[in-house]
Amino acid sequence: MSTEFLYFVEVLINGLMAGVMYSLVALGFVLIFKASGIFNFSQGVMALFAALTLAGIMEGQVPFAHIINSIFGTNIHHFGWHVPAVLAIILTVFVMIGFAWAVQRFVFRHLVGQEPIILFMATIGLAYFLEGLGDIMWGSDIKTLALGLPQGGARWLEDATAGLGGDDFYGFFIDKLDMVATVVAAVLVTALILFSQYTKHGRAMRAVADDHQAALSVGISLNFIWILVWSLAGFVALVAGIMWGAKSGVQFSLSLIALKALPVLMLGGFTSIPGAIVGGLIIGMGEKVFEYMIGPMVGGATENWFAYVLALLFLVFRPQGLFGERIIERV
């Protein structure tokens, strides 16, 4: 096999894996949008907040330390313990469930029946609120997530594939963290699909997504389902936050990954879980391949805009995305 072709394959694989990371964020959007018609702009910030909380709990940080210190004149910052990763993840899940409850109780319960644009604006407000809350609770310094996730290229894969090409080819370089993310995403999506297809609460979730009145008439509490959905989205945000946080550190720019999820949603459709995955893969792969093939001709940096141009094309020719429900206006 030619070296050139092998490089192309490597770019392709890396693109797919980068796409998985986008999918993780897009998933959270789809969950909430399907069940409540709310386009949750704060999904990216939820990922940031979850990652901040996880890092903070693990390091034994005192939440709201700055406020406490300035009120009581104390100087505490750490509890002085380290919480094991598994326990910290469980605690963070509880924090995200609490967040889901609060969002429902204090924001969306009062906005039932409002225009989509108003719900959307509320989520923008929520995004900024949550960003500020994360800052106040855990501080604004960059944190590392010491979860023990593998980093760097996979040596065994490099060694195993080095022989495929000529002397210039040193084997596929694939980030181990990306591999872990792929496996985690696959497990997560499978679990979500099984949950929504085959369990009572999953069925209730789909029922609410479909028709509110009918759902009420069979005894489903909309409020409960919305809290459940926001909790699930919070959990997905935590997974995304862990993966992105492990990759580039837990910093506030993490919330911007939401912007990369938008083109993914345009492609996959706002209402389809498989769509979020496939959309992410296409965007990730497309952007890496485009950069590799076309990038050198136009001076590079195509990754910054490729996804959005692709999304724009989809908006023009297939506005419901690849898997979204078809938009038919009956007259």
- Of 286 and 324, nearer to other proteins (C-beta) is 324
Residue 59 beta carbon to other proteins: minimum distance, rounded to whole angstroms? 29
Q: Nearest Cα to 85, choosing from 48, 59, 52? A: 59
DSSP 115-171: -HHHHHHHHHHHHHHHHHHHHHHH-SS-B---S----SB-HHHHHHHGGGS-TT---
Q: Do 24 and 240 contact (CB within 8 A), yes or no?
A: yes
Residue 257 beta carbon to other proteins: minimum distance, rounded to whole angstroms? 27
Residue 193 beta carbon to other proteins: minimum distance, rounded to whole angstroms? 12
Return d(Cα 63, Cα 60) in angstroms, integer. Answer: 9
- Of 70 and 217, nearer to other proteins (C-beta) is 217
- Of 195 and 252, nearer to other proteins (C-beta) is 195
Residue 109 beta carbon to other proteins: minimum distance, rounded to whole angstroms? 12
User: Which residues pair with residue 122 across a beta bridge?
Assistant: none
- Of 176 and 212, nearer to other proteins (C-beta) is 212
* Residues ≥6 apart with Cβ < 8 Å to 235: 93, 96
Applying CB under 8 A, which residues contact other proteins? 194-195, 198-204, 206-207, 209-211, 213-222, 228, 325
Return d(Cα 8, Cα 23) in angstroms, integer. Answer: 22
- Of 70 and 213, nearer to other proteins (C-beta) is 213
DSSP letter at 199 equals S
Token output for 41 = 């702009």
Residue 329 beta carbon to other proteins: minimum distance, rounded to whole angstroms? 16
- Of 228 and 265, nearer to other proteins (C-beta) is 228
Residue 224 beta carbon to other proteins: minimum distance, rounded to whole angstroms? 9
